[in-house]
Amino acid sequence: MSTVAAPKLHKNFINGQWVAPSGGHTYENRNPANTAELVGTFVSSSAADVDAAVDAATEAYKTWRLVPAPKRAEILYRAAEMLLHRKEELSRDMTREMGKVLAETRGDVQEAIDMTYYMAGEGRRLFGQTTPSELPNKFAMSVRQSIGVCGMITPWNFPMAIPSWKMMPALVSGNTVVLKPAEDTPLSSYHLVEVLTAAGLPPGVVNIVSGDGPGAGAPLSTHKKVPVISFTGSTAVGRIIAQAAAPDFKHVSLEMGGKNIIIVMDDANLELAVDGAIWGGFGTTGQRCTAASRVAVHKSVYAEFIRRFVERVKALKVGDGLDPQIEMGPCINEQQLNTVMSYVEIGKQEGAKLLTGGNRLDGGAHGKGWFHAPTVFGDCSAKMRIAQEEIFGPVVSVIPFSTFDEALEIANGVPYGLSASIYTKNVNQAFAAMRDLYTGIVYVNAPTIGAETHLPFGGTKQTGNGHREAAISAIDFFTEWKTLYIDYSDTLQRAQIDNAD
Ligand code: UN1
C-alpha cells in the first residue's frame, strides 16, 4: 500500500536548502474533492524570495553549464528511475491536491517519467551541424549553448508533467531553474524536485518558490537575471508576461489557451467518436488546454451522436478521484467552478440547448468539494461564446454542420489553435483536414488529447508564441546556437570575396 504525504509546512527550496519565506506568509493547499482535507501548507513568496532563488541559480549555473551533458543526463536517468519507483505514491498525492482521477494522475506522473528518460537520452545527442566551409583549410560547425537561469511558471492541471516538460530539457542543456508552481498544486512539483535532488542534482541547479502570480510569478518573470521564461497558463497572463519581457528581449515560451474541436464526419465510427468526445471533453474535468470543448457533428449523424453521447455523459460517475469507480473529479477550486457556472448561464442565454448537466453538484458526498455536473450544450452555433471562449471545465458545446468545408471553417474560426481532431474513414478528407486545420496538433480518429513527449507540443494563434514544448523543439528553446569557424590556412581568407571567381 502506498503512502501519501502528511500535511506539513513546505518551505521554498533554494540552493539545496528548505528555507522559510522572508515575509513569513503561508497558505493552505486543500483537496478540491474534500476541502476539509489539508494537503499541505506552502509559503507565499515575495520578490525577496525570488531574488534569493535567482541568485542561487545564477551561482550554480557557473559550474552546471560545464558539467558534460552525458553526466547531466545520468542524473536525469536516475531521477526517472526514482519517479517510476514512487509512481503510485506520487499519483495519489497528485489526486489529493489536483482532484483528477487516479488513472489520470498516474498518466501525469508517467508523462514526467517519459520526459525525463527522453531528455536524459538527449544528453548524448544535443547534436549540432558540421558543414564544409566555402574556403579551403577552414572548418565550420554549430553547437548548442546553454543560456542561464530559466524561470518557469507552471499550471495546476498537469502538476508534474508540465514542470517536467520545462525542467528536463532546460537541465540537460546546462541551464539552471527557478520554478514557480501553480498555487493550487505545488506538492507535485516539490516531489519532482525532491527526486531530482536525491538523484544527485547539485544545490542551486533547481529552486522552487511557491506562491501566487503577483507575489512570486511577476518578480520571477521580470527578473533582470532571468533571460528565459517558460510559461503555461491563460492567454491573459501570457500576454502580460510577454509584454513585461519584451524590453529585456527575454526568450519567452508561452503555452496558453485552447478551444479544441472534434469533427465527426458522416462516415465516422460513431461509437469511437463518442468515446473520444467523452475522454476529450470530460477527462481531467475538461481542465486541459487540449480539452475537446467543441464537438462539430455532421447533420446526417447529429441526432444519433447526441443520443449516444448524452446517454454516456449522464452515466459518468463524478466524485473523489481516489475512488476507483469515479470517472471525473472536481473543478480545481471555487473560482474555476464559478467560471464554469457562469458559462453555463451564458450558454443558456445564448439559446444553446442544455442537454444534460448545467449545475453544481453539492449534495451528499459532493458537499465538501468543487464539483460540477458534466454538461453538454447542443444546437450551438459556432459564434456563441460557449463555442468560442475557453471554459476550462466539464462543458462541451456540440455544433451541427452540413459540409466538410463548413466543419473546417468552424474549426479554424476561434482565436486559439492548439489541437483539433477529425473522425472519418475518408482518407481524402483526413489528409485535407491534416493540411487545413490551423492548429499545432491534429488527430485523426482520436480525441484532441493524448500528446506524447517526443513530439512537439503547442499551438498557433493565441495559444502560443511560436515555440513548441517537448520533443527536440524544447531543446531548441532552452539553447542558443553558436556557430564556430576554425581557419587553419594561416592566411587571411575573406568569405564571399576570396572564394569568388
Ligand atoms: C494540457 O492540456 O494542459 O495531450 C496538457 C494531453 C496531455 C498533455 C495536456 N498529454 O492531453
Instruction: Tell me how far apart the alpha carbons of residues 242 and 171 are, in angstroms, rounded to a whole number.
Output: 23
pLDDT of residue 7: 82
User: Buried b / exposed e across 247-263, counting CB within 10 Å, b at 16+?
Assistant: eeebbbbbbbbbbbbbb
pLDDT for 2 beyond 60? no
pLDDT for 1 beyond 50? no
User: Cα–chain-centroid distance for residue 480?
Assistant: 23
pLDDT of residue 367: 96
Alpha carbon of 276 to ligand 1 centroid (Å): 14
How confident is the prediction for the chain on average, in pLDDT? 97
For CA atoms 442, 448, 454, 457, the dihedral sign is: positive
User: Cα–chain-centroid distance for residue 179?
Assistant: 14
Q: How large is the average pLDDT for residues 170-181?
A: 98
CB-CB neighbours of 19 under 10 Å:
18
Lowest mean pLDDT among 21-25, 99-103, 448-452, 486-490: 21-25
Can you list the domains of the chain with their CATH numbers?
Answer: 9-256+464-483 (3.40.605.10), 261-444 (3.40.309.10)
The catalytic residues are 255, 289
Q: Within 6 Å (CB) of ligand 1, which residues are found? A: 111, 157-158, 288-290, 449-451
Read off φ and ψ for residue 439, nearest 5 degrees: -135, 170
Alpha carbon of 21 to ligand 1 centroid (Å): 32
Mutate to test the pocket of ligand 1, among 290, 418, 452, 469 (most ligand atoms within 8 A of CB): 290
Please give the share of the chain, as a percent, with pLDDT higher than 90. Answer: 97
First to last CA, the chain: 77
Which residues, at least 6 apart from 29, have a Cβ–Cβ distance to it below 8 Å? 38, 39, 40, 41, 42, 97, 183, 184, 185, 186, 187
SS3 for 208-276 is: ECCCCHHHHHHHHHCCCCCCEEEEECCHHHHHHHHHHHHHHCCEEEEECCCCCEEEECCCCCHHHHHHH
> Nearest to residue 145, comparing CAs of 205, 230, 255, 228?
228
Read off φ and ψ for residue 484, nearest 5 degrees: -120, 130
**Is residue 485 very low, low, confident or very high in pLDDT (cuts 50, 70, 90)?**
very high
How far is CA 89 from each of CA 84, 182, 189, 194, rounded to the nearest angstrom?
A: 10, 20, 14, 14
Angle value at C-alpha 254, between 252 and 259, nearest 5 degrees: 165
**Is residue 332 very low, low, confident or very high in pLDDT (cuts 50, 70, 90)?**
very high
Q: How large is the average pLDDT for residues 429-435?
A: 98
pLDDT digits (tens, 9 = 90+) for 373-385: 999 999 999 999 9
Mutate to test the pocket of ligand 1, among 288, 390, 457 (most ligand atoms within 8 A of CB): 288
Please give the share of the chain, as a percent, with pLDDT higher than 70. Answer: 99
pLDDT of residue 6: 81
> Do 495 and 472 meet the contact criterion of CB atoms below 8 Å apart?
no
Of all protein residues, the one whose alpha carbon is nearest to atom 10 of ligand 1 is 451
Mutate to test the pocket of ligand 1, among 156, 457, 469 (most ligand atoms within 8 A of CB): 457
> Nearest to residue 273, comparing CAs of 305, 298, 303?
305
> Nearest to residue 203, comparing CAs of 30, 84, 55?
55
Q: Are β-strands 460-461 and 441-444 bridged in parallel, bridged antiparallel, or unpaired? A: unpaired
Q: Are β-strands 395-401 and 294-298 bridged in parallel, bridged antiparallel, or unpaired? A: parallel
Q: How large is the average pLDDT for residues 418-446?
A: 98
> Do 296 and 410 meet the contact criterion of CB atoms below 8 Å apart?
yes
> Do 421 and 448 meet the contact criterion of CB atoms below 8 Å apart?
yes
Alpha carbon of 450 to ligand 1 centroid (Å): 6
Per-residue cell: 175 = 541551464
Instruction: Tell me how far apart the alpha carbons of residues 347 and 44 are, in angstroms, rounded to a whole number.
Output: 37
pLDDT for 263 beyond 60? yes
Instruction: For 32-76, give the DSSP string.
Output: TTEEEEEEEEEE---HHHHHHHHHHHHHHHHHHTTS-HHHHHHHH
> Do 437 and 412 meet the contact criterion of CB atoms below 8 Å apart?
yes
pLDDT of residue 446: 98
Per-residue cell: 266 = 458522416
pLDDT digits (tens, 9 = 90+) for 287-305: 999 999 999 999 999 999 9
Instruction: Tell me how far apart the alpha carbons of residues 92 and 86 are, in angstroms, rounded to a whole number.
Output: 10
pLDDT digits (tens, 9 = 90+) for 134-168: 999 999 999 999 999 999 999 999 999 999 999 99
Read off φ and ψ for residue 440, nearest 5 degrees: -80, -20
User: Buried b / exposed e across 161-193, counting CB within 10 Å, b at 16+?
Assistant: bbbbbbbbbbbbbbbbbbbbbbbbbbbbbbbbb
Q: Are β-strands 251-255 and 228-232 bridged in parallel, bridged antiparallel, or unpaired? A: parallel
pLDDT of residue 24: 87
User: Cα–chain-centroid distance for residue 432?
Assistant: 28
pLDDT of residue 499: 82
pLDDT of residue 23: 87
Q: How large is the average pLDDT for residues 215-232?
A: 98
Question: For the chain, how big is the Rg over CA atoms in Å?
Answer: 24
Shortest-distance atom of ligand 1 to CA 289: 2
